[in-house]
Amino acid sequence: MLKVQDLHKHYGGSHILRGLSFDLKPGEITVVMGRNGVGKTTLLKSLMGVVPVTSGSITLAGEAIDKLKTHQRVRAGLGYVPQGREIFGRLTVLENLQMGLASQPAGTPLRDELFQLFPVLAQMRHRRGGDLSGGQQQQLAIARALAPGPKVLLLDEPTEGIQPNVIQDIGRVIKHLAHDKGLCVVLVEQYYDFCEALADQYLLMQRGEIVMRGRGADMKADSVRERLAI
Ligand SMILES: Nc1ncnc2c1ncn2[C@@H]1O[C@H](COP(=O)(O)OP(=O)(O)OP(=O)(O)O)[C@@H](O)[C@H]1O
Mean pLDDT, residues 146-159 taken together: 96
Q: Going by CA atoms, what residue is nearest to atom 26 of ligand 1? A: 36
| 141 CA to centre of own chain | 10
Is 90 a domain residue? yes
Query: How much distance in Å is there from the Cα of 161 to the middle of ligand 1?
Result: 19
Query: Is residue 37 within 6 Å of ligand 1 at its C-beta?
Result: yes
* pLDDT tens digits, one per residue of 46-74: 999 999 999 999 999 999 999 999 999 99
Task: Report the alpha-carbon distance of residue 133 to residue 121 in Å, rounded.
Answer: 11
Task: Indicate which CATH number applies to the domain containing 192.
Answer: 3.40.50.300
Of 138, 139, 95, whose CA–CA distance to 116 is shortest? 139
Q: pLDDT value at position 103?
A: 86
Is 195 a domain residue? yes
Q: With pLDDT > 70 as the criterion, what percentage of the chain qualifies?
A: 100
Q: Is 80 helix (H, G, I), strand (E, B) or coil?
A: strand
The tally of CA atoms less than 13 A away on the side-chain side of residue 59 is: 12
Query: How much distance in Å is there from the Cα of 41 to the middle of ligand 1?
Result: 7
Of 198, 190, 186, 222, whose CA–CA distance to 22 is shortest? 186
Which of the listed residues 17, 41, 44 should we mutate to test ligand 1's pocket, taking the one with most ligand atoms within 8 A of CB?
Answer: 41
The β-bridge partners of 30 are 186, 201
Is 208 a domain residue? yes
Is 60 a domain residue? no
Q: 213 pLDDT band (50/70/90 cuts)? A: very high
Is 124 a domain residue? yes
Q: Going by CA atoms, what residue is nearest to atom 16 of ligand 1? A: 39
Task: Give per-residue burial for 125-138: e unless 16+ CB within 10 Å, then b.
Answer: eeebbeebeebbbb
Of 13, 12, 34, 46, whose CA–CA distance to 188 is shortest? 34
Is 119 a domain residue? yes
The β-bridge partners of 129 are none
Query: How much distance in Å is there from the Cα of 55 to the middle of ligand 1?
Result: 18
Is 16 a domain residue? no
Q: Going by CA atoms, what residue is nearest to atom 30 of ligand 1? A: 37
Q: pLDDT value at position 104?
A: 87
Mean pLDDT, residues 80-96 taken together: 95
Query: How much distance in Å is there from the Cα of 153 to the middle of ligand 1?
Result: 21
* pLDDT tens digits, one per residue of 178-203: 999 999 999 999 999 999 999 999 99
Number of domains present in the structure of the chain = 1
Q: pLDDT value at position 106?
A: 87
Q: pLDDT value at position 86?
A: 93
Q: 105 pLDDT band (50/70/90 cuts)? A: confident
Q: 96 pLDDT band (50/70/90 cuts)? A: very high
H and E: helices and strands count for the chain: 9, 10
Mean pLDDT, residues 80-100 taken together: 95
Of 161, 148, 160, whose CA–CA distance to 74 is shortest? 148
Task: Report the alpha-carbon distance of residue 227 to residue 133 in Å, rounded.
Answer: 33
The β-bridge partners of 33 are 204
The domain containing residue 141 runs over which residues?
26-52+70-229
Is 2 a domain residue? no
